[in-house]
Amino acid sequence: MSNGEITISEQISLFRSLIQAKRFDDGTLRILESLLITRDIKSLLHVQRSLQHFMRHQSISVLRQLNALPVHRKLLILEFFVQAFAIISDLESCLALRYEAFVLRDVNSAVDVRLSVCYGEWIAFAEQAMDNRFYAIARKACEKALACFETNDILKTKDADALSEHMEAIRKVKKLKDLATVKASSQSVQAQTVEYLKRKITEHDEGSTLVVKKKQHSASFLFRNGIKKHNMRKLQELQRQPARA
């Protein structure tokens, strides 16, 4: 093992120990970034997969323990994992935890208005989710964006320009939501189609096996029956021949 490989191994070990020690800060993120610098593609993908598996497991464990913490601490931890998943190119986990953070802010905004998630944040998130084909998450974000307008007094304004601007924004969100719904439904149908085809292929293979076995059984039976008939004819011929002295 080369010194470079030992260094990488030590860095990974250090990063893991910091996560397990709950050191969710910029220093830990910098170490994570260093693990992915100047590496060949094969090694990079291997390190990414290893870190993705580890971080997913750790994030689930950490999220289960968040309830006892103050809201601001929960948000800092969620933001740490969002950035960590972005660094290791786990976009699904990144977006999922970003959504969790937005929901947490939204739920607690009644107590602290500074935590409110504005329309712009929701729609930007929805567009990002759409771009990465996470349609179900995008649809939920659109619903949250629309909810922002329901509590926005500007829709009651007599300012025609402001009202027109907001109505256009609502139209845009609804259009994006409809597209996300269709895409999510299409994704589901495609999954069902793939599963159906797999099942039919399996049934076909099993059916073919049965047919082959049946054919093999029939051929074997005919072969054995032919031998029996051949032997019977030989026996009858021998019986008809006169006995020799």
* Within-domain flag for 101: yes
Q: Please report the pLDDT score of residue 27 as a whole number.
A: 96
Q: Please report the pLDDT score of residue 14 as a whole number.
A: 93
Supply the DSSP string of 57-122, one letter for each residue. HHHHHHHTTGGGS-HHHHHHHHHHHHHHHHHTT-HHHHHHHHHHHHHHHHHHTTT-GGGPPPHHHH
Rounded Cα distance between 37 and 91, Å, is: 19
190 to 23, 37, 183, 195: CA distances (angstroms): 42, 37, 10, 9
* Within-domain flag for 226: no
* Within-domain flag for 216: no
pLDDT average per 10 residues of sequence, the chain (245 residues): 61 94 96 84 88 94 89 96 95 90 93 92 93 89 88 63 82 93 77 58 54 45 48 54 48
pTM of the model: 0.68
* Within-domain flag for 177: no
* Within-domain flag for 76: yes
Overall domain count for the chain = 1
The helix, strand and coil proportions of the chain, stated in percent and rounded to the nearest 5, come to 85, 0, 15
Whether the CB-CB separation of 56 and 93 falls below 8 Å is answered with yes
Which residues constitute the domain of residue 35? 1-117
* Within-domain flag for 241: no
